[in-house]
A = this chain, B = another copy of it.
């Protein structure tokens, strides 16, 4: 083996001091200060979170046009809202004005990006959904059925998935996209979030670290969840009483990085909460992150792949997706800091060429599209990084750091990034 090495030095060797890139890795490790000094780097950012006034809401702004957002409601309020809706309709029928719902429009032309809030909201356009009209009778019927089902859920106080809802009346709904779409209408009509209706998405996120919370009455200590972590509950309304002595929240794109940090108990060296949705963020993880951010008032640092897809994921956490824009205030966590892996890190941390990947044409196009997005444009640092990515046509995964040793991420890269306040 030694002979082979002399002939062909293995660049990415992590443990042999002779390998060239390993020397670079060691150089970075030597720059690390004691842990408490590293943690000090985050104090300012953390203080800013605590001092920050409660985030703006639509009503704080004087937009000049009416806008609509949904809020979290208790089961009782949801029940009352439904009963109120149905009673108004009964009154309307009795008064000879017929049976119709007033349904807010959720399409593109009724959406508005509000820079002050940094998210998309719905404008106030709505349409009448009449029962005595051939073009709307079906939708009016389905709306009524969904209202009835959601009413049951609010009385029983149980949670179901969209799929369950669909199966309660396949004959009427015909296919799930129809019950899903009208469920969103009902959510807008009642002015409450879909979670308030007790209809939840399946969860895939996990959390670990310095966080204690209640899940359906059970007290969960996330420092005692081993390597697997705690699965994020699908129903956010059963999550309560969050407590934490963390200095920041570390949002991780991938489960491999999550596992590394959980096994190394990174959160004990640098008190933090580590959360991942294992790729594309699901609603449950987004709600959970938002709740942590609001209740614990902690800064959020993000660790994603250095590719357009990593940024897309950040954008979903930060600005939401367009088809749920009516619920953006509950789902979005605006000020997430982009910690890494950033395009400039590739050279700065001397990621070996062979661990970088060429961007496809589609990647480049996605990157260019992102440069036009508001959430990127308002942050000059991001524009610059993304520009470098598109120009170099190189991307890299978080795992590329493994070329310096498996624990380089937790022992060198992240501590150094934090020490240097190297977030954007």
Contact = CB atoms under 8 A, between A and B. Distances in A.
Interface of A: 1, 4, 10-15, 86, 141, 144-145, 148, 152-153, 156, 158-161, 163-172, 200, 202-204, 206, 214-220, 223-235, 238, 255-256, 259-260, 263-264, 278, 352, 354-355, 397, 399-403, 405-407
A259 B202 contact: yes
Given A168-B403, A203-B255, A217-B226, 16 more contacts: A4-B141, A10-B169, A10-B171, A156-B406, A158-B263, A158-B264, A158-B407, A160-B402, A164-B256, A167-B401, A168-B402, A170-B355, A203-B228, A220-B224, A228-B232, A229-B231
A202 B255 contact: yes
B219 A215 contact: no
Given A171-B11, A407-B158, A231 B234 contact: no
Contact of A227 (B216, B352, B402): B216
A410 to B, nearest CB: 10
A403 B232 contact: no
Given A4-B144, A152-B15, A403-B169, A228 B215 contact: yes
Copies of this chain, how many? 2
Given A4-B144, A169-B10, A202-B278, A228 B234 contact: yes
B238 A233 contact: no
A10 B231 contact: no
A7 to B, nearest CB: 11
Nearest to A171: B354
Contacts of A13: 168-169
A49 to B, nearest CB: 26
Contacts of A1: 86, 144, 148
Indicate the member of A15, A238, A406 with the most B CB atoms within 10 Å: A406
Contacts of A234: 227-228, 259
20 contacts: A1-B148, A10-B172, A12-B167, A153-B406, A158-B264, A163-B256, A166-B399, A167-B403, A170-B352, A170-B355, A215-B226, A215-B227, A218-B226, A226-B238, A227-B234, A227-B235, A228-B233, A228-B234, A230-B230, A230-B231
A214 B225 CA distance: 9
Given A164-B256, A227-B235, A238-B227, A169 B12 contact: yes
B227 A400 contact: no
A89 to B, nearest CB: 9
Contacts of A169: 10-13, 403
A231 B228 contact: yes
Contacts of A224: 218-220
A163 to B, nearest CB: 5
A164 B408 CA distance: 11
Contacts of A263: 158-159, 216, 235
Contacts of A226: 214-218, 220, 233, 238
Nearest to A218: B224
A130 to B, nearest CB: 14
A399 to B, nearest CB: 5
A149 to B, nearest CB: 8
Contact of A171 (B165, B171, B352): B352
A415 to B, nearest CB: 17
Contacts of A230: 225, 228, 230-231
Contact of A170 (B12, B161, B223): B12
B400 A260 contact: no
A159 B202 CA distance: 28
Contacts of A354: 170-171
B14 A227 contact: no
Contacts of A163: 256, 397, 399
A202 B256 contact: yes
A402 B215 contact: no
A398 to B, nearest CB: 9
Contacts of A227: 159, 215-216, 233-235, 238
